Structure 1
Amino acid sequence: MIELLLAVVAGALIGLSLGALGGGGSILAVPVLLALGQSPAQATTGSLVVVGVTSLAGAVTARRAGNVLLARGIAFGTVAIGGAVAGAHLSSAVPEAVLLAAFSALMLLVAGLMTLRQVRGRRGAGAHAAALERPQLDDPIITFSPTFMCQCPRALKVLVTATAVGLLTGFLGVGGGFLVVPALLLALALPMRYATGTSLVVITVTSAAALAARAGAGVVPDWRLVVTLTLTAVAGSVLGARLAARTDTRRLSAAFTGLVLAVAAYVAVLALPALV
């Protein structure tokens, strides 16, 4: 009963972050499942369910708001499937201590990127708002009609970035929204408004692919905890979206960055004794 209550609280926190800040919360799913007694393999597998379902719910909401380029998201996610499958198989081949250490390093990176985003947001808020009002989408990378045309350097950029995104999702069981959004900005030249919404489509596709790749590995998480965490995260994301319209999200983001740092330290404490 206590474990389920903790899962409800943690799921609400994850959802609030996703809804209010547009990302970051899903990275807490693995540490939460670890704290609830799951092994690293179970936690990263269960996290894929939380991440995938929550991202799907967010993608539907963003689609209704007109902030999703569905075809491009599916295309990028499809390219990323190879990396997701490879990452899922690789995660079962490395020691759990290495998996935890890699996850701790990832959380430190996320905290750093979130801090950088806060600083840049304060400096360029006006320019960012103007950019949202004037979205300009680029030309297709590959076309087959009326004649074949390929912007091959950009196609290679899409292949590399999508594979990296998939690999991260499959290996560590995270959505990687902090990586997917910059990847879409870099590889597809999407305006931020569309990159944020479209990233949810990519995360849904890669999470599903990684989960399918792990299906035969014999790793079975505690589905009661996973389902509870997922449902409360989805509900929390709706509440978070409403909260964002009434609250200074800069303060929320700063508080969440501190939380990510604290959790990164917790995961490092779990990993280091087994590494030395």
Structure 2
Amino acid sequence: MSTLVLALIAGAVVGLALGALGGGGSVLTVPALIYLLGFTPAAATTASLIIVTVTSATSLCSHAASGNVRWRTGLLFAAAGIPVALAAAALAARLPGQLLTAAFAAVAGLAAVRMLTSSAHEDGFRPVRPVRPVRAAGAGAGLGAVTGLLGVGGGFLAVPALVGVLGLRMRAAVGTSLLVITVNSLAALTVRTGGSTPLDWAVVAPFTGAAVLGAWDGKRLSAAVTGPVLQRIFAVVLLCVAAFMLADTIR
């Protein structure tokens, strides 16, 4: 199978996950770029930020039009995460690729377990609590660190945090997480842009285009399938990816 076809297929899957779940796109992008398309871990994390920034910004517009974005909560998350994301991105440039891959696998695995063991709530089953700035800022800082260090948007952690910590309903958490992903990814990208790692734009461009189109289908999927079902499906996929990456780093 040609590299272009692989990039298009992987991009479509990433976009589908991002549009449906408000996260997960980047956590699937990095292993796809490394194991399917031959990127180094450093190049994969940088390319992932580009792909996810464009895709999440596009999907954010769709969710905002549907009224599923809580702007105040999302901006609190993003503002707290920006300085941490910048510092973590600078640190990541000095770490070996194998360590980054192992850390990525560990974070992805923990997120998968968290999603499988937590009780996901659909609209109407969870009371909405008022936003607490301190809790929102603390969670946002943690997500910024993950974004900057590992080149992921943080949506796979943002959605559970927005639901479990701040009490948002699932659809609002999905839409709001896209705002957080866009801002955090842009911040981390400012540090990585102009670095010494070259990118293969013949792969990155079609991957991004397919992801953008897939995100629109993901948005429709999220409206047709209940939040808990989507969360469990994604958690299982994420756990398998994390196990594969961790096994690859220790063999």
1:63-82 matches, within 5 Å, as 63-82=64-83
Contact 2:15 2:211 in 1 (8 A): yes
Three-state SS of the structure 2 residue aligned to 1:110 is: helix
TM-score normalized by structure 1? Answer: 0.80
Measured against aligned partners, the alpha-carbon deviations of 1:25-63 in whole angstroms (never above 9, x if no partner) come to: 331100011021111000000001111111111211111
Cα distance in 1 for partners of 2:130, 2:112 equals: 30
**1:42 counterpart = 2:43:** yes
1:157–1:247 Cα change, 3 Å: closer
Measured against aligned partners, the alpha-carbon deviations of 1:85-127 in whole angstroms (never above 9, x if no partner) come to: 011011111111110110111221122123224xx24xxx5xx
Could you tell me which residue of structure 1 aligns to residue 7 of structure 2?
A: 7
1:207–1:69 Cα change, 3 Å: same
How far the C-alpha of 1:186 sits from its partner, in A, is 6.3
1:99-114 matches, within 5 Å, as 99-114=100-115
- Structure 1 segments of 4 or more deviating over 6 A? none
1:18–1:158 Cα change, 3 Å: closer
Q: Which moved more, 1:165-174 or 1:66-75?
A: 66-75
Cα distance in 2 for partners of 1:251, 1:199 equals: 18
**1:26 counterpart = 2:26:** yes
Larger radius of gyration: 1
Measured against aligned partners, the alpha-carbon deviations of 1:174-220 in whole angstroms (never above 9, x if no partner) come to: 11113223444566554544333121111100000001111243222
1:156–1:135 Cα change, 3 Å: closer
Contact 1:20 1:249 in 2 (8 A): no
Contact 2:22 2:178 in 1 (8 A): no
Counterpart of 2:179, as a letter, is V
1:24–1:73 Cα change, 3 Å: same
Measured against aligned partners, the alpha-carbon deviations of 1:134-192 in whole angstroms (never above 9, x if no partner) come to: 75645xxxxxxxxxxxxxxx544344322211110010011111322344456655454
Which of the numbers 165, 190, 193 marks the counterpart of 2:143? 165
Measured against aligned partners, the alpha-carbon deviations of 1:216-257 in whole angstroms (never above 9, x if no partner) come to: 432222122122111111111111222344457766654443
Cα distance in 2 for partners of 1:203, 1:61 equals: 15
Three-state SS of the structure 2 residue aligned to 1:16 is: helix
User: Could you tell me the percent identity over the aligned residues?
Assistant: 42
Contact 1:100 1:270 in 2 (8 A): no
How far the C-alpha of 1:260 sits from its partner, in A, is 2.3
Contact 2:82 2:183 in 1 (8 A): yes
Counterpart of 1:13, as a letter, is V
1:91–1:252 Cα change, 3 Å: same
Cα distance in 2 for partners of 1:195, 1:249 equals: 10
1:228–1:256 Cα change, 3 Å: same
Could you tell me which residue of structure 1 aligns to residue 178 of structure 2?
A: 200
Counterpart of 1:34, as a letter, is I
Structure 1 unaligned blocks of 5 or more = 139-153
Cα distance in 1 for partners of 2:13, 2:153 equals: 16
Cα distance in 2 for partners of 1:159, 1:250 equals: 26
Could you tell me which residue of structure 2 aligns to residue 222 of structure 1?
A: 200
Contact 1:49 1:211 in 2 (8 A): yes
Figure out how many residues of one structure are paired with residues of the other and give that number. 250
Structure 2 unaligned blocks of 5 or more = none
Three-state SS of the structure 2 residue aligned to 1:130 is: coil
Cα distance in 1 for partners of 2:161, 2:224 equals: 30
Cα distance in 2 for partners of 1:243, 1:215 equals: 34
Counterpart of 2:4, as a letter, is L
Counterpart of 1:235, as a letter, is L
Q: Which moved more, 1:221-230 or 1:88-97?
A: 221-230
Counterpart of 1:89, as a letter, is A
Cα distance in 1 for partners of 2:226, 2:179 equals: 27
Cα distance in 2 for partners of 1:159, 1:239 equals: 31
